[in-house]
Amino acid sequence: MAEMTEIPGASTDSIPDPLAETSEPTSPGAALLGGGIGGDARGAISLDRLMEVPVTLSIEVGRSRMSIREVLALHEGAVVPLDRHAGEPLSVFVNGALVARGEVVIVNEAFGIRLTEVVSSSERMGNIK
């Protein structure tokens, strides 16, 4: 067996014990969600921290494909046909991912949307790009 040589001034105090319990995150997701702050010994964290993260909610009325020539020819009063018919539900996206469908409503003289369908979690996961 090799003999251990002590290095003057060196200390093993800063070497972490891999078998010791720790409050550090143990999964990549836990590391991304707060580095163990507010977590327990297994690295689980509270989702309360995520509740204040801002997201972008957008509503899509429809889509249309046009050439650059057609786009450049647009003028005030031009009508652009969309791929949806009147009465079809609008798509609701959160950060680009489809989460629901709904219909336009008027709320206190402003537009709003009444959700008529919430996309299932499995369908939402399939829509993430």
> Could you tell me which residues come within 8 angstroms of residue 115 by beta carbon, excluding any fewer than 6 positions away?
92, 100, 101, 102
DSSP secondary structure letters along 72-86:
HT--TT-----SS-T
Farthest CA pair distance, the chain: 89
Q: CATH 2.30.330.10 occupies which residues in the chain?
A: 54-127
Q: 54-127 maps to which CATH number?
A: 2.30.330.10
What's the pTM? Answer: 0.56
pLDDT, tens only, 54-108? 999 999 999 999 999 999 999 999 999 999 998 899 999 999 899 999 999 999 9
pLDDT, tens only, 21-62? 444 444 444 444 444 445 555 556 678 888 889 999 999 999
Instruction: Record the tokens describing residue 114, joined without a space.
Output: 């009444």
Q: How far is CA 83 from the centre of its chain?
A: 27
